[in-house]
Amino acid sequence: MTFLRHRASTAALLAVILGAGLLLAPGTAQAAPRRAGAPILFGLYDHTDADRMVTERELGKRSALVGKFFDWNNGLPALSYLDKNVTRRGAALVVATGPAGYAPLSRVISGGEDVRTGQWAEAIKAYGHPVMIRLMAEMNGSWEPWSTGQNGNKPGEYVLAWRHIVDVFRAHGATNAIFVWNPNRAYRGATSMRSLYPGSAYVDWIGLDVYNFNEAAKKGWLSFDSMMKPSVRQLRQAAGYAKPMMLNEVGTAEGRRKPLWIKTMFASLPRYGVRAVNYFDELRHEDWRLTKTAANRAASRYAVHHNNIKGAGDLPLATIERIARTGA
């Protein structure tokens, strides 16, 4: 906490594509990874596995993606835990992590975190299944330890630190690590997404965190489209059109319009080319939960059974893991 729809002239569109292409690895396709009728993977972030399973039962939809926040210093949990709570439930793992305040980006760049990074890489390699890593997410905000300006982090260091971590994973042969570049939604005062993009050779997926806080200090009730349109525009200007996109965290606070917000959000995903969505189903600061009230529950249940939203059981694990690896 923590498609592009526009009508441009041919010249303007070509300029955008060529500009994005400067960030692409040689030989990388530049077409948007969008396919009519492509399934959208459904996932949840919950405080506990038991909470997630309760929500899944209430929705009649199991998570294809299991979202987790794991402390960088503690590493990946035991493989037996992941096997029980993720793999055997037919899902793929999504992990949010990154070096905390004790390890500023200059320390990462200089190799000071290589031992810890190597331990992460070896644990993920041993797991064997694809792990989508939301590495140092919401970096365009001012609140994360890896944000520019925090802990003495200088402009440009985020990109160098990201590339260094990915290089360490590759040196350890952790080819099942899927790196997800994940800024917060666009807002006034945010660090430029373009300045933070590590380059297509170092990124597998791109994504966004999008929250409607329903607070006066955060401009009150915000529609999903009002946040997504500028955010996706900036995301694609930074990263180009070749990478699959996901909503890494999304949620809406309580309010009389919450059921409609939920239905509209899920229905809008195909228009933006979103291939995966992880809903933040927690009571944390606000009540984001999908099933707190009967109206929320009915809207959420309807939404996840329409719009080509697919969970575990709707698709075989092999297909879910293939999409997690490739976006296709």
Least confidently predicted of 34-38, 103-107, 118-122, 323-327: 34-38
> Cβ neighbours of residue 36 under 8 Å, at least 6 residues apart?
none
252 inside domain: yes
Tallying the residues shown for the chain, one arrives at 328
pTM over 0.95: no
Q: Which domain holds residue 320?
A: 33-326
5 inside domain: no
CA dihedral 143, 140, 206, 262 (to 10 degrees): 60
104 inside domain: yes
4 inside domain: no
CATH number at residue 186: 3.20.20.80
65 inside domain: yes
Q: Can you give the pLDDT at residue 100?
A: 78
24 inside domain: no
User: Do 259 and 295 touch, CB atoms closer than 8 A?
Assistant: yes
Q: Tens digits of per-residue pLDDT, 185-230?
A: 999 999 999 999 999 999 999 999 999 999 877 888 999 999 999 9
Domains held by the chain: number: 1
72 inside domain: yes
233 inside domain: yes
What does the angle CA 319 – CA 305 – CA 263 come to, to the nearest 5 degrees?
Answer: 120
